[in-house]
Chain A
Amino acid sequence: MNAALLFSTALNSVGANKLRAGLTLLGIVIGVSSVIAMMAIGRGAQVSVTSRISELGADLITVQPGAQALRFAFFGGGGDSDVLSFEDALALKDDVFAPDVRIVAPENSFSGSAVVSGENTFVNGVGVTAEYLEARNLTIATGRNISNANVLNTSLVAVLGSETSTTLFGNRNPVGATLKLSGREFLVIGVIESQQGTISNPDNSILVPITTSHYRLKSGTGLVNSIPVSSISILATSEKAVDTARLDISTVLRLRHELEADDDDDFLITTQQDTIETLEGTQGTFVILLGSIAGISLLVGGIGVMNIMLVSVTERTREIGIRRAVGAKRRDILFQFVTEAVLMTFVGGILGVLTGWAIAYFGNGATVDGDIIETVIETHIAAIALGVSIAVGLFFGIYPAVRAASLNPIEALRHE
């Protein structure tokens, strides 16, 4: 029997029981569409995280205190040697030792209540220098930035994130207004341009001079140079200089911290590339996880096909006998049943791709729990899913088909 005949025979048989074929197909449709939708969501998450990180600038390097084993800045470090100081930051500006470093912005953090017209609001703030905005790729919307003079003078001035501004002052322009932090009155000198969606989320923050944060808000003591910093944001002279800048930073800090050759670093340098790679790795695992869950439903769909094909072979034993009696070879019967199985999974695959595509398409931009879902539809995933569904038909169709083909014609004809 030639391919066209095989196909029309299979179509006829499958079409003879539309409800059954439809339900069997449904398993495959669900499997394939969930593969497509899951992968689109997974890839979308990956791409959006990457692009959000990239907004910070590919030349950004962050240095945090602590050993190479991941430790977060706000743990404050274990001992003195773990602490990065303001002086460390100043040393990184050295043109001789760190020629590839362009901008150095040390920061520390504080938290507490901000009081405006008698109303308390809890805020997380950052103590910064004038370089902070540039290092973080931020701009001032209204007013001005914190100046070097403000840092030197421990000025009681604050720059607000756009959301903080709204929370504290409503729709008013807060520049020139005052707010109280730890009982001291601060003058608002500027508001940062909103950066909706970026990972550092500056909109919720409040910036004050690093010295003010240390001496006035955290009751710190000591010389300016010894102020502990929780993180230093550094821009390399160019994207290409990131790796050499990283080496410069490491050399300078190891020297300053008097580390021996076989001592581990007591600081952690992270480039944007590192962050992207780590996150992409995590996201990759996430995509694989989603994909496997979807794949399992495809497998279940395949088992459904096998089940129906086995039932079909039993029900159609007599038909098989008739076909064999009028000249069908074993392989004609084999191909007929395999074709039927593949036809079902192929049609199921196509419907599944369309459904998955529709889910991904209409789901793009939807919000779930305040998070915007982004989806990325990849044609190669659709092609693979379709290929897999055909393979599922072949794999699960072959056993029932072999059973059909191996029936003895006389016994098959006697079958009631």
Chain B
Amino acid sequence: MNSAVPVIELSNVTREFQVGSQVVKALDGISLTIQHGEMVAIIGPSGSGKSTLMNTLGCLDTPSSGSFFLNGQNVSDLSDNQLAETRSRQLGFVFQSYNLLTRETALSNVELPLKYSGGHTGKNRRTAARTALERVGLSHRFNHKPVQLSGGEQQRVGIARALVKNPDLILADEPTGNLDSKSSAEVIEMLRSLNEVDGKTIVVVTHDPEVAEATKRIIAFRDGRIVEDRAVDSVKTEAAEDEQVASE
């Protein structure tokens, strides 16, 4: 991967929704660049456009205007099929509500992205899925179904699924939103290690100041705009003050 090209490059991106006769600007002129190996937290009040941004970055949604380059590729040029391929090849998405297939085991949930990209034998897929589950510390839970797992474990299955195709970019929309503080800490530790050990680029949306402080860069949203974009200081007190400002 050419590290000179940014992973994400948004310029003047807007996303509007028509609600009845009203137009809601969920994203209102966002310009943003994220480089390889960064770990970014997106914070902001409810309804400020964080999820809309993540959906755009995740190629699940397309901007109303402005441009979005993912690894140097202009996403608005892509067809529906190519968007699906991009989702499968270049990024992994982690959801607040895990979004696992309830009927399937952990292993086959993690296998799922591989099923939609050709060139894998069944054995191949299972090996890759096991490796990903081992990476998130779930080697003892291969054949458990989601209902048989704790919230934290389910979210780790979700992370393993995002990892299984070994993408450079992991997008996580409130991954700890449904978790208690202990599981929450585990998940964040996991994401940090993926960033620091595996060198993955990570963007995580969170309401939790502790989670935000665990990252390297914090971007604050309000009303569809970026109101703050700063590097995280390792000095805790300063960070806590800033967070108060951002969450007002």
Contacts and interface: CB of A to CB of B under 8 A. Distances in A.
Interface centre among B80, B101, B113, by most A CB within 10 Å? B101
Interface string A303-338: 000000000000000110111111111111000000
A12 B103 contact: yes
Nearest to A2: B118
Given A325-B60, A325-B99, A1 B116 contact: yes
B93 interface: yes
Interface residues of B, number: 25
Contacts, number: 60
Contact of B116 (A319, A321, A327): A327
A329 B113 contact: no
B87 A325 contact: yes
Contacts of A13: 103
B84 A324 contact: yes
A10 B95 CA distance: 25
Interface string B9-20: 000000000000
A16 B115 CA distance: 19
B116 A410 contact: no
A328 B115 CA distance: 9
B87 A332 contact: no
Interface residues on A, range: 20 to 34
A143 B89 CA distance: 97
B247 to A, nearest CB: 25
Contacts of B112: 322-323, 326
B133 to A, nearest CB: 16
Contacts of A16: 103
A261 interface: no
B87 A327 contact: yes
B115 A325 contact: no
B55 interface: yes
A78 B116 CA distance: 83
Interface string B159-174: 0010000000000000
Interface in B109-126: 112-113, 115-118
Interface string A8-22: 010011001000000
B99 A330 contact: no
Contact of A330 (B60, B80, B101): B80
B61 interface: yes
Contacts of A329: 80-81, 84-85, 116
Contacts of B85: 327, 329
Interface string A78-111: 0000000000000000000000000000000000
A318 B99 contact: yes
B99 A322 contact: yes
Contacts of A2: 118
Interface centre among A1, A318, A326, by most B CB within 10 Å? A326
Contacts of A1: 115-116
Contacts of B48: none
B58 interface: yes
A5 interface: yes
Contacts of A326: 87-88, 93, 112-113, 116, 161
A190 interface: no
B55 A327 contact: no
Contacts of A12: 103-104
B61 A410 contact: yes
A125 interface: no
Interface string A393-414: 0000000000000000110010
B60 A327 contact: no
B101 A322 contact: yes
Question: Would you list the 10 A-B pairs with minimal beta carbon distance, nearest first?
Answer: A327-B88, A327-B116, A326-B113, A329-B84, A328-B116, A322-B99, A329-B81, A409-B60, A327-B87, A410-B60
24 contacts: A1-B115, A5-B115, A12-B104, A13-B103, A321-B99, A324-B60, A326-B87, A326-B88, A326-B113, A326-B116, A327-B85, A327-B88, A327-B89, A327-B113, A328-B116, A329-B81, A329-B84, A329-B85, A330-B80, A330-B84, A332-B84, A410-B60, A410-B61, A413-B99
Interface of A: 1-2, 5, 9, 12-13, 16, 318-319, 321-332, 409-410, 413
